[in-house]
Structures are given as C-alpha cells and as structure tokens.
Structure 1
Amino acid sequence: IKYWGKRAGGEKLILPVNDSFSITLSTHPFRTKTSVVLRDDLEEDTLIINGEKSDVRSTPRIQSVLEYVRSTCPDELKNKRVYIVSENNFPTAAGMASSASGYCALAAALVRVFNSTANVSMLARMGSGSACRSTLGGFVIWHKGEKEDGSDCVATQFVDENYWPEMQVLCAVLQGEKKNTSSTAGMQQSLQTSPLMPKRIATTVSERMRTVSEAIKARDFYTFAQIAMS
C-alpha cells in the first residue's frame, strides 16, 4: 500500500498523509552499498554516487540528514566532514526504489560512524520517505503519525522475512533510464488535482491496511494480491 503524498507542513521532515505497507527485498541480487568516512582534511562534505560527485549543498535532503545526525552525536564529532561513497547495482531513479535503498544505507552508516543516538528509521525517512521501511526486513508498516516533529512517524516490522517463505518477489528490469516524473512531483500533482485523494486518505487506505494485514497473517495470497494490484 503506497505512500503517496505529504501532509501539510510535512515537506521537510517527510511526514505522509497515510500509513503504508511494504515488503523489503533481499540484498541479493539488488543492493546499495554505502561507505562513510569522517575526515578532518575536507573543507566540505563530499558525496560520490555511482562514481559521480554530487553537490551536497544543492541536495536539501542530504543536508537535512547530515544536520540531524550531527545534532545527535558526541560533541567531538560534530565538526567532522563526511566522505560518502554510494553505489547501486540496479537502475537509479528508474522506479525501483533506489532512493529508499540509498537513504536507508546512508542513515545506517551515519548513525554508526557518528555514534549517534538517532533512530535509523526516522533518519532515513528524512532523506526518502520509503527509506524508513527499508531499515527492517519482511513486511513493514510505516506509521504516518500525528506529531508535528515526526517523532511518532516511524516504521515497524509487521512480520519478519521468514514468516511467509512461499512468498517470492519477481523484479523485471525492463529499462534503466531515469523516469520522466519523480515520485515527489507525482505526489504533489495528485494531492492538488485528483478528486480521489480525499477519499483515499480518509477511508480507503485504512480499510486496505486492515485487509492486507489480515491476509498476510493468514498467508492468504489471493486477498493479498487483490489489494496489492488494485
């Protein structure tokens, strides 16, 4: 059940209008590998994605993640610069959740290297909403929460990856080009123009969350597929 749209005032922290449900893929064969090194010899934070340097200063979400992790780390590490190297072995920005995978890996690495007290799921969410679910295996729920500071907007594991061993996910990579419309732009357009969004937010999602939860618990693939494909 897709996360689709941010609530009013939730743009910076990425606070969604609805709960969402996902299954986390195995890191075999698809994965993101991210390395973070703290450096004293750098004038600015450095980010290398798939072999190409990206400008951290022009990437607000990277900045948000770094600002938050530095606010939750020991004082002696706050002024350290980071050298980040991240790479996917699957297409980036092509609809296969590369941002979720990337920010999940980044959040986990940053929390470790900065000895941060930050919640990994919450930190990952500040980079990419769906990334908060990727911090856990199996079937995962992202709770939209109600608080303005996003402290209750985190992911929890519904059942682990061993609960339904017969469930298999097939990923067919048909093309690797960057998609024409980003998820962020698509969400914003839907919220502004779709007459179906109010009903989806008010009743449809909660009903489907309940139904799919029961289907997963019962390992009822027929009902699960009806919800997932509708």
Structure 2
Amino acid sequence: MWAELLRVLYALFMGAFLIIMGALTFTAKDEPGIGFRIGYTYLSERARRKANRVSGGLIIATGTLLIIAGFFLPMFYLWGLLLVGLLSSVAIAYLVAKREYELEELSVEAPEGKGREIKPPDVRRHLAFQAICLLGVLALSPRLPEGSVAFFSILIAVFMALTAFASRPLVFQLAPSFKGKMARGFAFSMSVASLMLLILALGAAFNVGVLGGLLLTFLCLTILAYGVFKALVSAYEEGYY
C-alpha cells in the first residue's frame, strides 16, 4: 500500500514539475536560463523559437503521461517512461533546431573568410566509464529479472550515444565563450545516470527488500541530482544563461 502511494506521489510530483518546465520552455522568449539552448539556437532566433515550442510541447506530454501512468505502472516503468520521454524531447528538438538553422542559412549569403573552427571536447573517459557500467549490468544478468537486462542495457547504450553526440560541433560547444564545458558536463551527467542504473541493477539482482529499495532509490536520486547540478554548473560556465 505504501509503495503504491509513494509511486503515485512520485508520478504526480515529477509530472507536475515536467508540465511546468514544459510550459516555461514553450513560452520562453529570451529569458536567461530558460528554454532549449544549444549551438543552433544561439545562432538562429528562428531555430530557438521552433525548438522551444517542440521541446516544450513534448515535455508537457511526457509529464501528463507520467501522471496518468503513475496510477497503473510500476516504478520501474515510470523511470523508463521519464527517460524515454525526455531523451526523445531532446533528440527531436535538436533535429528541429538543426533543420531551421540550415534553412535560414540557405537564405543568407555566406560571409567571406574562414569561420572559427570548434574543437570537439574529449569525452572518451566518460564513454569508457559508461561501458564499464554496461558490462556490470551484463555480468549481473543471471540474477536479474527477465526483461530488466535489456532495459538497463539499452538505456546505458543510449547514454553512450548521447555522450558521443554531445561532443559534436554545434551541439553544446557553441556558446558565447566557446569552452566546450557544457558538453563535458553533459557527458558527466550521462556517466552519473549510467552509474545510477548499475546501482539499481545491483539492488534488483540481490533482492535488497523494501527498506533497501527505498535506500537505493534515495541514493540514486542523490546521485542523479548531483549529475544534474554539475551539468547546470557547466552550462553556466559555458555561457548558457
């Protein structure tokens, strides 16, 4: 009974938070720290406006689905829904921003001279750490419930792909100061998320019980919050404010 109540409260809290954040993103104009901000949106007002609307709408939809699903789905699937919804929102908004920027560039005469080359940041150590987490999950596969191995493995693989994606020019590197710190901060947050999944897999593999499950959940939320904090700090240091 208590587990179900906590699940519903979690879904209501996270869903409401996502709806509020989605609404702020959808209506964002040029407020500091609000909206979908990557390199393309700094170069193009058209890309920023379209990306904000798309990402804001998708985040609102994710929050709404999370609230509804909280009454029916186990916590395990709520985490999956949250991650898939947010990752899909980022990916789709990125593609929209890229397309709008390129369309705008087609209508503008190319400037003379060579543009500034942006050196991609090195995220190999983060990719290596995430690969270790993936191998850890696979090593626990004999003890994990059916289907959970694929769930954890696919998510970590997605995190690895996003880490590699973040190192590409015009994703997170392009900001007023051009330091590449946000790309490294994002890669760090993906490593933290991979560690969180490994911890959850350990808890599921060794059947830690209700109290242990609550402690692991608290630990994972703390780790995730730290990863988000580091990513936000790196965004501020990069100049995304």
Q: Under TM normalisation by the shorter chain, which class is it?
A: under 0.3
Query: RCO higher in 1 or 2 (8 Å CA, sep ≥ 6)?
Result: 1
Give 1 or 2: higher helix fraction.
2
Give 1 or 2: higher strand fraction.
1
When Rg is computed on C-alpha atoms for both structures, the one with the higher figure is: 2
TM-score, with structure 2 as normaliser: 0.25
TM-score, with structure 1 as normaliser: 0.26
